[in-house]
Amino acid sequence: MSRSRNKALAAALIAIFAVVLAACSSTGGKKATEQASAPSAGKANTPHYTIAMITHAQPGDTFWDIIRAGASAAAAKDNITLKYSNNDDPTQQATLIQDAINSKVSGIAVTDPDPQAICPTIKKAVAAGIPVVMFNAGVSNWQQCGGMEYFGQDESIAGLAAGKRLAAAGAKHVLCVLQAQGQVQLEARCAGVKQGLGSEGTMTKLYVNGTDNSAMLSSMSSKLTQDKSIDAVITLGAPVALVAIQAIQQASSQAKLYTFDTNAAEIAKIKSGAVQWAVDQQPYLQGYESVDSLWLYLTNGNVLGGGQTVLTGPAFIDASNVAKVAQYAERGTR
């Protein structure tokens, strides 16, 4: 009978609905999270501009959420429309830059992890009369590429500082975990760590697939099992550090964990002691300043930095100052 079948269907739907309603969680979830918004500061009355931000973000890397948060905050304040795009393949990133040139945007903010592939397109943008500001990657040769300003961290200096601090902590064999191959800023960090360690210790590199958690867990765990002399693991990204915690546990290793860059979950791990310290390059500041400096140039012809890099790091976040940073990290801006 179709009537009894309809009744049965209706009863089933009501039952499912009731179960779902009754299944609300009393802990955790979105309700529990404080929805504090990023700092906002009114809106400028300058003309409207469109700025394209093109990065080499790997899909799923939370580091770039923080950069975007900064860029969006600046765009909201400066009456700017922000067009964000990313691709971790350098040739495809160059194509995205070309798309921005063809769309005749007012300004371009770009990262340069592979100068050979990306510099030529940046020069084309400058030749087309579009001001270009660079940030985060490509610190050694941004002037030759035609960039106006550069916001970021000198990765060699950051690596050197990290290496010295590792040596001071007594690390003898450091494992440097790179989540992508062929990116100059990641290579510079590991090279800096090696230099900072000097004669106090040795550094070994391990390449993992930053987009696959299971593969990262297995590779790091295998490496730590293979080489029992590793007493320090330094990762170059927050998601990798979070997986490294599990890998160290799985390999029953005594190695201590350090990292570059942070996210909210990782700040909690610094608080709990699972991660010793993190090198912070203030990605929110990088994103914010890239957009804001273009606005200053477009509205008032200002250029920041005097042809030199404007440094946003390194700063160390460890147990002594993590409490202050934690409140900002939870809302996704540190």
Partner 1 sequence: MTQATAQPELTPPSVRDERVGRGSTLARLFARPEMGALTGAIVIYIFFFAIAPPFRSASSFSTVLYFSSTYGLMATPIALLMIGGEFDLSAGVAVTTSALTASLFSYEFTLNMWVGVMVALVVSLAVGFLNGWIVIRTGIPSFLVTLGTFFMLQGLNLALTQTITNQVASPDISSLQGFSSAQKVFASSFTIGGVNFKISIIYWIVFVLIATWILLRTNIGNWIFSVGGSAPSARAVGVPVAKMKIGLFMAVGLMAWFAGMNVLFQFNTIQSGQGVGNEFVYIIAAVVGGCLLTGGYGSAVGAAIGAFIFGMTNQGIVLAGWNPDWFTFFEGALLLGAILLNTFIRRRAEAAK
Q: What is the dihedral of CA 271, 273, 277, 282, to 10 degrees?
A: -30
Residue 195 Cβ, how far from partner 1 at the closest point, in Å? 20
CB nearer to partner 1: pick between 145 and 291: 291
Are 242 and 208 spatial neighbours (Cβ–Cβ below 8 Å)? no
CB nearer to partner 1: pick between 106 and 263: 263
Collapsed DSSP state (helix, strand, coil) of residue 67: helix
Which H/E stretch holds residue 156? helix 155-168
CB nearer to partner 1: pick between 224 and 317: 224
d(CA 284, CA 189): 20
Pairing, β 277-280 against β 315-318: antiparallel
d(CA 279, CA 289): 20
Residue 164 Cβ, how far from partner 1 at the closest point, in Å? 25
> Which residue in 218, 242, 238, 318 sits closest to 276, CA to CA?
318
SS3 string, 268-303, reads HHHHHCCCCEEEECCHHHHHHHHHHHHHHHHHHCCC
Residue 231 Cβ, how far from partner 1 at the closest point, in Å? 17
Residue 239 Cβ, how far from partner 1 at the closest point, in Å? 6
Residue 132 Cβ, how far from partner 1 at the closest point, in Å? 25
Which H/E stretch holds residue 52? strand 49-55
Residues near partner 1, by CB under 8 A: 19-20, 23-33, 57-62, 64-65, 69, 181, 205-207, 211-215, 217-219, 221-223, 225-227, 239, 242-243, 246, 250-252, 264-265, 332
Residue 92 Cβ, how far from partner 1 at the closest point, in Å? 14
d(CA 173, CA 190): 13
CB nearer to partner 1: pick between 60 and 198: 60
Residue 170 Cβ, how far from partner 1 at the closest point, in Å? 24
CB nearer to partner 1: pick between 185 and 253: 253
CB nearer to partner 1: pick between 201 and 239: 239
CB nearer to partner 1: pick between 18 and 323: 18
CB nearer to partner 1: pick between 145 and 248: 248
Residue 310 Cβ, how far from partner 1 at the closest point, in Å? 26
Which one-letter DSSP state was computed for residue 212? -
d(CA 195, CA 50): 42
Query: Quick one: 214 exposed, middle or buried, by C-beta within 10 A (0-12, 13-18, 19+)?
Result: exposed
